[in-house]
Chains A and B, each alone.
Chain A
Amino acid sequence: MRIVVDFDLCESNAVCMQIAPDIFEVRDDDFLYILNETPGEADRSRVEECVQRCPKQAISIAED
């Protein structure tokens, strides 16, 4: 599982960071950073929740 963020869509509102602060971080420069692009299967359900709760539909999961 690899996390893909469409940065043209992301507006840095940090919803994902509230769900998974170990994976997503919005920093002082107002940009979103992915701290862990390839989390393990144990994190799948949380990442899926981020995908669904991102208001901009900016996050997706690539299976490669």
Chain B
Amino acid sequence: MTSIPRAVTIVGASLAGFNAAEALRRDGFEGPVTLIGAEDHPPYDRPPLSKQVLAGDWEPDRAALTDTEELADDGIEARFGLRATGLDLNARELTLHTGETVAFDGLVIATGARCRTMPGTDELSGLHVLRSLDDCLALRADLEAGPQRVVVVGAGFIGAEVAATARGRGLEVTVVEALPTPLGRVLGDEMGSVCAEVHRDHGVDLRTGVGVDRIEGDHRVERVVLSDGATVDADVVVVGIGVIPNTEWLEGSGVEIDDGVICDASCLVADRVTAAGDVARWPNQLFGETMRVEHWDNAAAQGAHAARRLLDDEIGPFAPVPWFWSDQYDRKIQLAGRVRPDDEVRVVNGSVEERRFAAIYGRGGRITGVLGFNRPRHVMRYRALIEQGASFDEALAAEF
């Protein structure tokens, strides 16, 4: 039995951290709450950064999750532009990049993740990753400058959305993907091929099964050299090859790190310390599997759970069915569950040809996931079946 903290400090002021802070207040916690974040901005939403904001349909302020006034009204002390560089669990102290030390009692670790980059490409302009609002505005400015050719490295969800948004701006887009089908390692080859066709239908030059050897240019990117020797001319290159959890500041603190901060099933990391969002790895008891999830809904829900865990020892495990959405062109793609590429896949509703369908995934006699193309209601219904541990046959027989 650990004691309830008198005050809570949250490190990382994005989706998970913000939801943690608000959950404390919603549950009536009256002690001091401090939200420390490395970015200069109050918490904002990332999904629009590859969609509406990048497209130029939204100005950045529309992606805000809150503002400093609202935080102040909720009695949340906001400290932005400050990066934690160290954690001392015995002294219960944080160190910030300014050298300042900050005492804490309860702590939520919500430092998220950053983009993986390609080695040796730091100096070129026109080369982008997309994680932060600042990244988004830099890329948007480059897209607005009237480039001829955009090359996207990696056909994961972020790469796919950037490609779709750039096509929406009428730009020529090449997508380079090392796997034989986009997202094949997530969705399997059959559904990965559907994603490939969607890109091609929209005029993307999709090159699969080929890696990037190097990106060339004199100060500015000029071309991308592929592993098969082909070159693709480029004015703008966007690299979307996955993310790395931000855990360096915890090294040597005694907090266990293994591709994320290791938590127990309830998100507890140490006495009165929890973690949430893209940075957290925890055993999800619903799946009997340790996972780190990089989805919006998970960061929001886990942020709230990690905060409540500090107030309530009995709160129990965090065990949701992970799900996310991705908007590409005019398709709303959603995936719920924990699917593997070799799971059995069955289309249960709609038509793959029309790109409006729901498909369910199964393994070991159980339904493991559901993929929807413009089928949000079906995804949520099957998600409920996954949560109940329904068999694959039950799910196949269900009618929604």
Q: Which residues from chain A sit less than 8 Å from chain B, CB to CB?
A: 11-15, 26, 28, 30, 45, 48-49, 52-53, 55, 57
Residue among A14, A49, A53 making CB contact with B376, cutoff 8 Å: A14
**Interface residue ranges of B186-237 to A (CB < 8 Å):** none
Q: Which of A45, A52, A57 has the most CB of B within 10 A?
A: A52
CA distance in complex: A53, B65 (Å) = 11
Q: Which of B19, B45, B296, B376 has the most CB of A within 10 A?
A: B376
- In the complex, the answer to whether B300 meets A30 with C-beta atoms within 8 Å is no
Q: Which residues of A contact B334 (CB under 8 A)?
A: 13
**Assuming A12-B377, A13-B325, A13-B379, is B297 touching A55 (CB within 8 A)?**
yes
A41 CB → nearest B CB, Å: 15
What total of chain B residues lie within 8 Å of the partner, measured CB to CB?
A: 17
Q: Which residues of A contact B332 (CB under 8 A)?
A: 11
CA distance in complex: A14, B378 (Å) = 10
**Assuming A13-B325, A55-B297, A55-B325, is B22 touching A30 (CB within 8 A)?**
no
Please list the 4 inter-chain residue pairs (A to B) with the smallest Cβ-Cβ separation, ordered nearest first.
A13-B376, A14-B380, A12-B376, A30-B377
Chain B residue, CB-CB nearest to A18: B380
- Beyond the given pairs A11-B332, A14-B377, 6 more chain A to chain B contacts, judged by CB atoms under 8 angstroms and listed by A's residue number, are A11-B325, A12-B377, A13-B334, A45-B26, A52-B22, A53-B301
**Assuming A11-B325, A13-B334, A49-B26, is B47 touching A55 (CB within 8 A)?**
yes
A59 CB → nearest B CB, Å: 13
CA distance in complex: A57, B62 (Å) = 10
Q: Which of B45, B297, B380 has the most CB of A within 10 A?
A: B380
CA distance in complex: A25, B361 (Å) = 26
CA distance in complex: A52, B45 (Å) = 11
CA distance in complex: A3, B45 (Å) = 21
**Assuming A11-B332, A26-B377, A45-B26, is B325 touching A53 (CB within 8 A)?**
no
CA distance in complex: A57, B15 (Å) = 13
Q: Which residues of A contact B376 (CB under 8 A)?
A: 11-14, 26, 30
